[in-house]
Structure 1
Amino acid sequence: MMFYTNNRTNLSHSSVFNVTAATFERKQPLSSDIAVIMYTSGSTGIAKGVMISHSNIIASITGMAERIPNLSEEDTYIGYLPLAHVLELCAELVCISHGCRIGYSSPQTLADQSSKIKKGSRGDTTVLQPTLMAAVPEIMDRIYKNVMTKVEEMNSFQRTLFILAYNYKLEQLSKGYSTPLCDRFVFRKVRSLLGGRTRVLLSGGAPLSAATQRFMNVCLCCPVGQGYGLTETCGAGTICEYWDYSTGRVGGPLVCCEIKLKDWVEGGYRSTDKPHPRGEILIGGPNVTMGYYNLEAKKQEDFFVDENGQRWFYTGDIGEIHEDGCLKIIDRKKDLVKLQAGEYVSLGKVEAVLKNCPLVDNICVYANSDETYVIGFVVPNQKQLLALAGQHGIRGSWEELCNIKAMEELVLKVITEAALTAQLERFEVPRKICLSPDPWTPETGLVTDAFKLKRKELKTHYKDDIERMYGGK
């Protein structure tokens, strides 16, 4: 390589250097070469490095793109999850492969009401007006609660009109009809929260509650479908068809993979169950990754190759398959705790139900197998908690209110009513709770970047409260 100065007036002072650079032969990567080592969230233990090959990525984005109608250069995608999250990586690669525009945001600047948006300024969705968006349930639950709080603050005429329009559209959607007048005159403001042009919204990363999914389908005036996949399957597994407005299901297998169920006798799930086969979900296909980096034993435990040479992954999630081939996630092996009296409690199921309570911003349910009941840690909604305290004449700072036993009891009463209304069993309902004045963010280390609970870290953080609630103190 030669470096030179262009000095025409005095060539004697020009600097000329001959530098010998090592030459490397350029090689195209093989489909089996590692493209990414992506670490799992570590929500249930130590994070594992998943080795993802180029062929895994191609298979995954091919399967995902087939479920998203009419992808084109006219689409704009808003990315706000970290690229270290497999959902975001695959979503952006799908967009790049179809020439879609991508605008980058963050959870703190997403909407006009987001925490890091100055009052009077516009959020990123308002400015960008995306047509495509991938979201985790935590973000959608926030939107749902914010809107429902505003509905409660409406005068009686506005609130009645909103509820009538909501129920009417819900009925029309179930029949396959659209409601252009309701969309224009009633739901336009809610739709504008995400820029007003969103045509497909995909939820992944954790189960989305039925109430939130119904609300999004109605008020955002676009299909809101759930998808299911893991880092170990390169994010691919299932995605709902865009015309499927049913709730609680994650759709059928993508074209890049197959799904089968394995009996889990200890949990009482079998593929012979009626009316729907149930069991641990196994995903197989070219999207199933190469295993864990430097964790051979764990790789042998979680992955296997069948007699046809196809790779499979044991997900640890429990599902049931409906008559139309759609999958529903009903449990998780690691989230299932057996109480002292023999009842099984699904922590994730209880949390998903209780997150719908307006008083709850976030919740972690905990159960010890040596005990007879469930407990919980709750991040309360500040506005709702202050209103509850005011109703009962309880005064104090935010920190003081969260540490007053009377407030714990009032919140527990509201949560219990919500749980029983949602038809949880008595043994599934937390008997004691503690209130956290501080929100759980990725910066605190108590949740992942996709806002999934880090149970091990939460257990350590609330160690003293656990002992108190279980009678140790």
Structure 2
Amino acid sequence: MHFQEWFRSSAGVKGPESENLWSLLPSLPLSSFSLSSLSLSSSSLLGLGALASLTAYWLVTRPRPTRPPCDLQAQSVAVDGDPSCRRSALLKDDSLMEYYYEDTRTVFDMFRRGLRIAGDGPCLGFRKPGQPYQWISYNEVLEQAQVLGSGLMAKGCRPNPQQLIGIFAQNRPEWIISELACYTYSMAVVPLYDTLGPEAMVHILDLAEISLVLCDREEKAAALLENKERGGTPKLSCLVLFNDFSDAFVQRAKNCDVEVLKLDQLMDLGRQNLKDPVPPQPQDLAVVCFTSGTTGKPKGAMITHGNIASNTSSVIKILEGSFVIQQDDVSISYLPLAHMFERMIQVTMFCHGARVGFYQGDISLLMDDIKTLKPTFFPVVPRLLNRIYDKILGSATSPLRRALLRFAVRRKQAELSSGVVRNNSLWDKLVFNRIQASLGGNLRFALTASAPISPTVLSFLRATLGCLIFEGYGQTECTAGCTFSMPGDWTGGHVGAPLPCAKVKLVDIPEMNYYAKNGDGEICISGPSVFRGYLKDPEKTAEALDSDGWLHSGDVGQWLPNGTLRIIDRKKHIFKLSQGEYIAPEKIENVYLRCVPVLQVFVHGDSLQSYLVGIVVPDPEVLVDWAKARGFVGSYEELCQNPDLKNAVLEDMKAVGKKAGLKSFEQVKDLHLHPKAFSVANGLLTPTLKSRRADIRRTFQIQISSMYSQAAF
């Protein structure tokens, strides 16, 4: 028997923890001495004493794994014996969670709970360049919200959920105060954002019959005014600005019957006409969140207070044993408040009396804001995590540093595999401390969503950042998330198990050869977090919600043996890039077909990448002459292999795309010229001459991988 074996058995230590400790101890076989005949010198006794002290210290301070809230090999449970329909293993039965705390069934309730916890404690933080954060207390936020809400009613807004108020601003305290002002009097919010475009903005304001919009800057208000001047948005009658504005703008607004007020003026009006709160009910509308409309006009998803309460409560339930949000926790707010992901995070923070600090509005200053704020909670999207990953790898400039980084990451990943997440190991102190300090040094929790993330990147960052990093999956129509990583499960390649507020089932897609009996199909969601429908659009609502109330996501999923969900495809060929932008490839392809040298085109995007690439079949009857006019000579096949000609075709496609109004992220950044046409015979077209997208993707996988691996963009 060896000494290390005796040590492990007598100390009750097993697994990777014993290996980590044993690396610090000498390897001595017990057969080298016997206790009956052992003669120990004083130095030996001192050595054994030191060893005993080291052992005792390690037993007290050794890292302990996160205790999972359920069996990680059975994270979801079949509903009514149907393995294709599953719910969270954290539930006692098939009854889904609507709220966590008895008194938090609306967003207004959740903020009031935080108020009771924090009172005069900090709530919303902001800063000026080079300055520390300044804080507005919970009491001040609620007081300002009541005053602002009273001001809205003094301007004719009604205290009921049919009253929709527009907010067109960057993340800042006034955004949240405006939202809470609406909820204090049962009104609903319609967030607006720059990338919608003028036509979509007109559509939203008209559809929602919005008469009053709160804006941050004159430039944004001017864009709304321009629509009014052109004869759109006839209901718009009042603009309230957070920042100062010019007299010329006031006169311009007056000329088209729009009143312009500064926020302070509206709040003064509210103080003069202060009203008692009219709190909302769980079934009341809270927000109409408009999608970006890649396949048509934006659709307004109607989200209720009950939807939000059930979704946030489910996340609280999952985290209750591993990450309890405390009053001194702080989140950095930089992701758009026009989307539900950021809003759900903030509601969860407010419910616990925690703080939210806003970035300065300039993404180039975000890292400085993070270092100053020192957040404990970091909401993030895969694109930013990918940048952090690349930056860390790029910082290891010498072979020695790269070797040390790789070794340290492997050691931390070994701890992760046993459930240990920490930032105080030897490797954290020697290698990762500067990385962690660049994000403020206090991170306890990060949450990534909006698009998939590479398991390699996720595992690497869990090791280097030394904090809990969870991944969620969902969409606006189910409020935010429907699945979520389980604490203690630090594996990658899946998006977790169903949240306690949702049942998730897979439905057959015969045309794509996906069948629920095989464990894959279209992801459908049911439960109290599923939206009410699209505003004034019964046709689109019926497409999204079936007669039994199941939300059809359009994503294709696969159940894994441990009860978690993996995203494997898209039913309608709409996908996200890594930065969260939706792409409709067929729309882009139809634009590029207008290019003279293009006969066929296939646009591909990878949710782990930030840009698009394409496969182009040039028109053999056109290409040679088109190329010759630009100084290129050769046969059709030779021209298809000419990299300079490829670039010329790419530039022509980009020009056509720009003229057609494609956004920059909708333009392909590289392409491969293929001399043979897609056809029914070669299996790349259907009998109705539609692209077999999955087959084209498989056929050109090498070329696609090559375009992305060049990483020249």
Which category describes the TM-score, using the shorter chain as reference length?
0.5 to 0.7
Q: Aligned equivalents of 1:49 and 1:314: distance in 2? A: 16
Q: Aligned equivalents of 2:400 and 2:671: distance in 1? A: 46
| Aligned counterpart in structure 2 of residue 259 of structure 1, from 499, 504, 516 | 504
Q: Aligned equivalents of 1:435 and 1:33: distance in 2? A: 51
TM-superposed deviation, 1:174: 1.3
Q: Aligned equivalents of 1:90 and 1:369: distance in 2? A: 45
SS of the equivalent of 2:528 reads: coil
| Aligned counterpart in structure 1 of residue 568 of structure 2, from 315, 330, 333 | 330
| 1:375 matched residue in structure 2 | none
Q: Aligned equivalents of 1:83 and 1:24: distance in 2? A: 27
Paired residues of 2:615 and 2:671 also in contact (CA < 8 A): no
Q: Using a 3 Å threshold, how does the CA distance of structure 1 residues 467 and 329 change in structure 2: closer, same or farther?
A: closer
Whether 1:84 aligns to 2:338 is yes
Paired residues of 2:615 and 2:674 also in contact (CA < 8 A): no
| 2:418 matched residue in structure 1 | 175
Paired residues of 1:260 and 1:281 also in contact (CA < 8 A): yes
Paired residues of 2:613 and 2:671 also in contact (CA < 8 A): no
TM-superposed deviation, 1:266: 1.4
Deviations 1:437-472 (A, max 9, x none): 9xxxxxx9837xxxxx5x4xx47xx8xx98999999
TM-superposed deviation, 1:324: 1.9
TM-superposed deviation, 1:347: 4.0
Whether 1:51 aligns to 2:302 is yes
TM-superposed deviation, 1:293: 0.9
Q: How many residues were matched structurally?
A: 348
What stretches of structure 2 of length at least 5 have no aligned partner?
1-271, 575-584, 590-601, 620-641, 655-660, 678-713
| Aligned counterpart in structure 1 of residue 663 of structure 2, from 438, 446, 471 | 446
Paired residues of 2:618 and 2:673 also in contact (CA < 8 A): no
Whether 1:102 aligns to 2:356 is yes
Question: Which residues in structure 2 correspond to 1:269-280 (within 5 Å)?
Answer: 269-273=514-518, 277-280=519-522
Whether 1:155 aligns to 2:398 is yes
Paired residues of 2:617 and 2:675 also in contact (CA < 8 A): no
Q: Aligned equivalents of 2:421 and 2:287: distance in 1? A: 42
TM-superposed deviation, 1:92: 0.5
SS of the equivalent of 1:283 reads: strand
TM-superposed deviation, 1:39: 0.9
Deviations 1:47-105 (A, max 9, x none): 21101111111111111222332111121111111111110011110111111110112
- Partner amino acid, structure 2, of 1:334: K
TM-score by length of 1: 0.65
Q: Using a 3 Å threshold, how does the CA distance of structure 1 residues 211 and 196 change in structure 2: closer, same or farther?
A: same
Larger radius of gyration: 2
Higher mean displacement: 232-241 or 24-33: 24-33
Structure in which a larger fraction of residues adopt helix: 2
Q: Aligned equivalents of 1:191 and 1:134: distance in 2? A: 15
Q: Aligned equivalents of 1:201 and 1:346: distance in 2? A: 33
Q: Using a 3 Å threshold, how does the CA distance of structure 1 residues 284 and 144 change in structure 2: closer, same or farther?
A: same
TM-score by length of 2: 0.44
Q: Aligned equivalents of 1:99 and 1:129: distance in 2? A: 17
Superposed CA RMSD: 3.7
Q: Aligned equivalents of 1:82 and 1:237: distance in 2? A: 20
Question: Which residues in structure 2 correspond to 1:339-418 (within 5 Å)?
Answer: 347-348=604-605, 350-352=606-608, 355=609, 362-366=610-614, 405=643
Paired residues of 2:534 and 2:540 also in contact (CA < 8 A): yes
SS of the equivalent of 1:255 reads: coil
| 1:301 matched residue in structure 2 | 543
| 1:37 matched residue in structure 2 | 288
| Aligned counterpart in structure 2 of residue 320 of structure 1, from 558, 563, 574 | 558
Whether 1:93 aligns to 2:335 is no
Paired residues of 2:507 and 2:524 also in contact (CA < 8 A): yes
TM-superposed deviation, 1:315: 0.3
SS of the equivalent of 1:47 reads: coil
| 2:696 matched residue in structure 1 | none
Q: Aligned equivalents of 2:444 and 2:652: distance in 1? A: 38
| 2:371 matched residue in structure 1 | 126
| Aligned counterpart in structure 1 of residue 466 of structure 2, from 221, 225, 244 | 221
Q: Using a 3 Å threshold, how does the CA distance of structure 1 residues 467 and 347 change in structure 2: closer, same or farther?
A: closer
Q: Using a 3 Å threshold, how does the CA distance of structure 1 residues 363 and 26 change in structure 2: closer, same or farther?
A: closer
Paired residues of 1:283 and 1:314 also in contact (CA < 8 A): yes
- Partner amino acid, structure 2, of 1:330: I
TM-superposed deviation, 1:28: 3.6
Paired residues of 2:419 and 2:489 also in contact (CA < 8 A): no
Q: Aligned equivalents of 2:526 and 2:463: distance in 1? A: 34
Q: Using a 3 Å threshold, how does the CA distance of structure 1 residues 116 and 123 change in structure 2: closer, same or farther?
A: closer
Q: Using a 3 Å threshold, how does the CA distance of structure 1 residues 235 and 57 change in structure 2: closer, same or farther?
A: same
Paired residues of 1:408 and 1:435 also in contact (CA < 8 A): no
Q: Using a 3 Å threshold, how does the CA distance of structure 1 residues 86 and 164 change in structure 2: closer, same or farther?
A: same
Q: Using a 3 Å threshold, how does the CA distance of structure 1 residues 178 and 67 change in structure 2: closer, same or farther?
A: closer
Q: Using a 3 Å threshold, how does the CA distance of structure 1 residues 96 and 299 change in structure 2: closer, same or farther?
A: same
Deviations 1:293-325 (A, max 9, x none): 12110101111342xxxx320000111111221
| 1:65 matched residue in structure 2 | 316
| 2:476 matched residue in structure 1 | 231
Q: Aligned equivalents of 1:135 and 1:96: distance in 2? A: 19
| 1:292 matched residue in structure 2 | 534
Q: Aligned equivalents of 1:106 and 1:471: distance in 2? A: 52
TM-superposed deviation, 1:42: 2.9
Paired residues of 2:416 and 2:490 also in contact (CA < 8 A): yes
- Partner amino acid, structure 1, of 2:572: K
Sequence identity percentage: 30
| 2:494 matched residue in structure 1 | 249
Q: Aligned equivalents of 2:415 and 2:528: distance in 1? A: 39
| Aligned counterpart in structure 1 of residue 384 of structure 2, from 131, 136, 139 | 139
- Partner amino acid, structure 2, of 1:196: G
| 1:389 matched residue in structure 2 | none
- Partner amino acid, structure 2, of 1:73: Q
SS of the equivalent of 2:297 reads: coil
| Aligned counterpart in structure 2 of residue 74 of structure 1, from 304, 328, 331 | 328
Q: Aligned equivalents of 2:432 and 2:466: distance in 1? A: 8
Q: Using a 3 Å threshold, how does the CA distance of structure 1 residues 280 and 369 change in structure 2: closer, same or farther?
A: farther
TM-superposed deviation, 1:219: 0.8
Q: Using a 3 Å threshold, how does the CA distance of structure 1 residues 67 and 335 change in structure 2: closer, same or farther?
A: same
Paired residues of 2:291 and 2:301 also in contact (CA < 8 A): yes
Q: Aligned equivalents of 2:303 and 2:651: distance in 1? A: 41
SS of the equivalent of 2:525 reads: strand
- Partner amino acid, structure 2, of 1:320: Q
Q: Aligned equivalents of 2:511 and 2:361: distance in 1? A: 39
Q: Aligned equivalents of 1:106 and 1:46: distance in 2? A: 31
- Partner amino acid, structure 2, of 1:284: S
Paired residues of 2:301 and 2:533 also in contact (CA < 8 A): yes
Deviations 1:81-139 (A, max 9, x none): 11111100111101111111101126844xxxxx347xxxx611111111111111111
Q: Aligned equivalents of 1:367 and 1:75: distance in 2? A: 48
Q: Aligned equivalents of 2:343 and 2:456: distance in 1? A: 28
| 1:112 matched residue in structure 2 | none
Paired residues of 1:351 and 1:364 also in contact (CA < 8 A): no
SS of the equivalent of 1:37 reads: strand
